């Protein structure tokens, strides 16, 4: 086979429909671990539904997509996020959270190092988006459920996302949060 380098920026967004799963198979853990985050969009409330109806009454939303930034701008933002500082105590906090996932009675496979790296990268991006050049424990707490929960493998088989998120929230409550000036290098 031949390996080809993909153009930058490159990313994949996948959707998962919770109904009509007949004939489909769950992804193996090794593949699930390669998705950076798992988010649930939910459905709009009544007002949101009405806005959708009014906005797209006479037009197709897919025909009117507009870029919010150029590829060059996106690459520059990505490079800026990569430079975001992660204090050694934050690295320890990330490691403690991930190690706690591996010690849970219900969990047969906790978060892998790939998941730890994904969480750190997401935290750096969030800090950058919020105008900071350093990561805080609040960044970690905010993102850990979305980045780590789908990577947990439970002893009773695959869990529902809600159960995994709840366990991640329990872990976050139990792991001591570091206190420091996290902007110091």
What is the Cα–Cα distance from 73 to 80, expressed in whole angstroms?
11
- Could you tell me the pLDDT band of residue 143, with boundaries at 50, 70 and 90? very high
pLDDT at 57 over 80: yes
Average pLDDT, the chain: 89
Question: Which H or E element spans position 49?
Answer: helix 46-55
Q: Which pTM was predicted?
A: 0.85
Q: Which residue has the tokens 């190690």?
A: 99
Tokens read off for 143: 């993102």
Percent residues over pLDDT 70 in the chain: 95
Q: Which residues of 147-171 are buried (b: 16+ CB within 10 A; e: fewer)?
A: bbbbbbbbeeeebebeebbebbeeb
Torsions phi, psi for 76 (to 5 deg): -65, -40
Query: Alpha carbon of 24 to those of 16, 17, 19, 28, 30: distances in Å?
Result: 11, 11, 11, 12, 17
Other Cβ atoms closer than 10 A to 81: 18
What is the Cα–Cα distance from 141 to 32, expressed in whole angstroms?
21
| Selection from 13, 172, 33 nearest residue 115 by Cα | 33
pLDDT for res 59: 86
Strand boundaries in 43-164, DSSP class E: 107-109, 153-154
Percent residues over pLDDT 90 in the chain: 59
Other Cβ atoms closer than 10 A to 18: 8
- Could you tell me the pLDDT band of residue 185, with boundaries at 50, 70 and 90? confident
Distance of CA 58 to the CA centre of its chain: 35
pLDDT for res 18: 66
């Amino acid at each position: 086979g031949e390996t080809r380098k993909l153009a930058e920026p490159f990313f994949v967004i996948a959707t998962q429909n919770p109904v009509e799963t007949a004939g489909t198979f769950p992804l193996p853990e090794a593949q699930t671990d390669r998705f950076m985050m798992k988010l649930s969009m939910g459905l709009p409330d009544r007002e949101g539904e009405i806005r959708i109806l009014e906005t797209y009454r006479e037009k197709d939303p897919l025909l009117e997509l507009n870029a919010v930034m150029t590829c060059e701008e996106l690459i520059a933002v990505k490079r800026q996020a990569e430079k975001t500082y992660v204090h050694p105590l934050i690295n320890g906090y990330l490691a403690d959270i991930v190690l706690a996932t591996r010690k849970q009675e219900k969990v047969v496979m906790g978060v892998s190092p790939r998941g730890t790296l994904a969480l750190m990268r997401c935290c750096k991006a969030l800090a950058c988006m919020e105008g900071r050049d350093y990561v805080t424990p609040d960044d970690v707490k905010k993102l850990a459920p979305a980045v780590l929960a789908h990577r947990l493998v439970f002893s009773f088989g695959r869990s529902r996302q809600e159960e995994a998120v709840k366990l991640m929230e329990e872990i976050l409550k139990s792991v001591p949060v570091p206190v420091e000036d996290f902007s110091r290098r």
